[in-house]
Copies of this chain bind each other. A is one copy, B any other.
Amino acid sequence: MVSMSDGSDLSVGQAARRLGVTVRTLHHWDEIELAKPSVREDSGYRRYSGADMERLQRIVVYRELGIGLEDIRIIVDGSALEAADVLRTQRARLGERIEELRRRGEDVERMIDAYENGLTLTVREQVEAFGPEWDPRWPLQARERYGDTGQWQQYAERAAKRDAADWTRIVQTVSALDAELAVAMDADAEPGSERANALVDRHREVFSQYFPLTRSMQVCLGRMYEADPAFTAHYDGVRPGLAAWLRRAIDARARSEGLDPDTARWE
């Protein structure tokens, strides 16, 4: 026998189990008049008839398609043509939603990449942006050292949005600054002089492309330029003695702003 008239109506619990929904759900559908039991006993108990169950089953099917209850009401109460309309609308909505989530997923992926690898570029793109002496292991080493700091995080957030062209532009500003620093040192500009101070400020601006750099953080960075062989090598590669000169210039600028460079902290 199919499911014609089994004679016995069902309680909410039984109906819910058969439909694979919760009792609360049936209560809700009753409340909003989407599907009421055809009988209420004197005790107030709901009794769902075979016809009720058919309606409920249809509702369950459409709900599984992700259709809202008001639209389901249109489908089960309205004409087949209205129903088809709702379905087509739902198809369109799903398509858009999927596309949106897909794009969002790519963005998340890029962000994770930035967190984990420091860059979202392929090695080929990196070499193109940073020049032939670029070592692709560099960003990973940076992450090992600083990966758990807030600055790395802010760096990653920005890196996630940058493509090869953006990086090329940044590299240009950085090397332009390096060159200007070298020229100033060559011209015996004194740390603390107007020219040196202006360059220190530009250094802070340029570096802030990576992450927000306060003055006291800049002072610490100056120390590192002198203390860390990798940094020293970079600046002294531009011009011997530049790392030390820049450190002194940064210290002088800090003092001119009322900051004691000897007590500066990374924050």
Contact = CB atoms under 8 A, between A and B. Distances in A.
By DSSP majority rule, is chain A's interface helix, strand, loop, or mixed? helix
Contacts of A79: 148, 150, 153
Contact of A98 (B2, B91, B98, B157): B98
A48 interface: no
Counted per complex, copies of this chain come to: 2
Interface in A86-124: 87-88, 90-91, 94-95, 97-98, 101-102, 104-105, 107-109, 111-112, 115-116
Contact of A84 (B4, B112, B205): B112
A34 interface: no
A146 B181 CA distance: 83
Interface in A131-153: 147-150, 152-153
Given A94-B101, A94-B105, 17 more contacts: A2-B205, A4-B208, A58-B154, A58-B157, A61-B157, A65-B104, A65-B108, A66-B101, A79-B148, A80-B152, A81-B147, A87-B108, A90-B108, A91-B109, A98-B98, A98-B102, A101-B101
For the complex of A and B, list the 3 residue pairs with the smallest distance between their C-beta atoms, beginning with the closest.
Answer: A80-B153, A94-B105, A84-B115
20 contacts: A2-B205, A2-B209, A4-B204, A4-B205, A4-B208, A58-B154, A61-B157, A66-B104, A66-B108, A79-B150, A80-B147, A80-B150, A81-B148, A87-B111, A87-B112, A91-B105, A94-B105, A98-B98, A98-B101, A98-B105
